[in-house]
Amino acid sequence: MTIERPAARPANPRFSSGPCAKPPTFELNKLAGAALGRSHRAAVGKDKLKAAIEGTRELLGIPADYRIGIVPASDTGAVEMALWSLLGERKVEMLAWESFGAGWVTDVVKQLKVDAEVKTADYGQIVDLASIDFNNDVVFTWNGTTSGVRVPNGDWIADDRAGLTICDATSAAFAMDLPWDKLDVTTFSWQKVLGGEAAHGMLILSPRAVERLESYTPAWPLPKIFRLTKGGKLIEGIFQGATINTPSMLAVEDYLFALDWARSVGGLQGLIARADANAQAIFEFCDQNDWIDNLAEDPATRSNTSVCLKFTDPRIRDGASFAKAVAKRLETENVALDIGAYRDAPAGLRIWCGGTVETSDIQAMLPWLKWAFEAEIAAQAEAA
Ligand SMILES: Cc1ncc(COP(=O)(O)O)c(C=O)c1O
């Protein structure tokens, strides 16, 4: 039996969960104004770094008294800088429901050896958010990129908390509403929802996080790359574009371009609407097809960026090789690139739905997913 290929193809087959698709209007020559070959401390470079910080503040609605810094090593750099600089003052609750959250648990428990209570949930589920004691510091991932499970909102975070909340929001920022009054430390990378480059991380600090930095010195040594204070005072320059070490001005220019594009589609609310529409198209596809389902069990926790899917057809004999084979067919046809589930996640697919992806491309890709599924079921039967 030959299974007919769909007629239309996505204009852009890039559905990777990071680096994510560039904004639809991106062309390399749009970066021609980059301050290349100049000192990042010269006025031209500093102005661009400042514009990146203030553009982030404007688009994400970050309060004026929060500090926003551009730091080394993408989101990982920003998160680890926060963990190493802030933790140890009190007990910490570590919340994890997928691989990146689990990575932060390893940092805290095995490397820093801080007094920690670890709360984990399996892929597809989330921890009991009602069980958290906000006298402790709390570390969590807003959107679990590898399970497609996100916190539904910030209502579970206490307003009168004594501890700090430290939130890895890398696959949430620019796609979900982040309640800044609930978040003391927030991090993300340019490579995710805005389709930027991965070089740098963003570190966003509430006034309470700054107070902790200025009143507490961790017991362990901090490399220069992590140091946010000098002589017990915050290094304010970091939050005004005087980066700790040399940034990539090409990546900065690319981020400025992405911010401009974000403004052109209606800013944060426009970006959220785009991600929601993309994810909704996939949710409906799952409703219409009984062989595929969202990995996230509770609809309230379903991601609108990293949508993770599992195959549920009882005819499938080897789930991992089946999912890989479907992803391979889609890649070979150049209709969907990089959509295999994350290496540590359950077998399945992960389709990026952040705002740089066009809904028309998701819609054009889904019939191909059905095609690849049916072709693989047929191939499995033939092999038997
Ligand atoms: C939730 C989460 N945290 C951290 C990272 C690591 O990000 P980066 O490679 O930008 O440091 C990722 C990357 O996919 C992620 O999804």
Ligand 1: which of 20, 71, 76 to mutate, judged by most atoms within 8 Å of the beta carbon? Answer: 76
- What local confidence, expressed as pLDDT, does residue 2 receive? 76
Give residue 90 CA to ligand 1 midpoint distance, Å.
26
Q: What is the pLDDT of residue 285?
A: 98
Output the pTM of the full model: 0.98
Do the Cβ atoms of 202 and 68 come closer than 8 Å?
Answer: yes
Long-range contacts of 356-359 (CB under 8 A, 24+ apart): 356/20, 356/21, 356/22, 356/23, 356/24, 356/193, 356/194, 356/195, 357/12, 357/14, 357/15, 357/20, 357/21, 357/274, 357/278, 358/11, 358/12, 358/24, 359/274, 359/277, 359/278, 359/281
The atom of ligand 1 lying closest to the CA of 146 is 16
Is the Cβ atom of 306 under 6 angstroms away from ligand 1?
Answer: no
Model pLDDT for residues 197-242, shown as the tens digit of each residue? 999 999 999 999 999 999 999 999 999 999 999 999 999 999 999 9
Mean pLDDT, range 256-271, rounded to an integer: 98
Q: Is the pLDDT of residue 168 over 90?
A: yes
Q: Is the CB of 100 under 6 A from ligand 1?
A: yes
| Atom 13, ligand 1: residue with shortest CA distance | 18
3-state secondary structure of 47: helix
Q: Name the token pair of 338.
A: 């990089």
Within 10 Å of residue 271's Cβ, how many Cβ atoms?
24
Question: End-to-end distance of the chain based on CA atoms, in angstroms?
Answer: 15
pLDDT band at 1 (very low <50, low <70, confident <90, very high): low
Whether residue 5 has pLDDT greater than 90: yes
For 108-145, write each residue's pLDDT tens digit.
999 999 999 999 999 999 999 999 999 999 999 999 99
Closest residue to atom 2 of ligand 1, CA basis:
100
Phi and psi at 305, nearest 5°, equal -115, -70
In angstroms, what is the C-alpha Rg of the chain?
21
- Our answer on whether the CB atom of 16 is closer than 6 Å to any ligand 1 atom is no
Q: Pick the atom of ligand 1 nearest to 189's CA.
A: 10
Instruction: Give the up-direction half-sphere exposure of residue 56: CA atoms within 13 A in the CB hemisphere.
Output: 29
Residue of 48, 74, 21 whose CA lies nearest to 256: 48
E strand or H helix at 328: helix 319-332
Task: Determine the distance separating the centroid of ligand 1 and the alpha carbon of 222, expressed in angstroms.
Answer: 22
Q: Among 100, 142, 149, 344, which is best to mutate for testing ligand 1, by the most ligand atoms less than 8 A from CB?
A: 100
275-291: average pLDDT: 98
pLDDT tens per residue across span 348-370: 999 999 999 999 999 999 999 99
CB-based contacts of 37: which residues, under 8 Å, 6+ apart?
Answer: none
Give per-residue pLDDT as tens, 37-52.
999 999 999 999 999 9
pLDDT band at 3 (very low <50, low <70, confident <90, very high): confident
Tell how many helices (H) and how many strands (E) occur in the chain: 8, 14
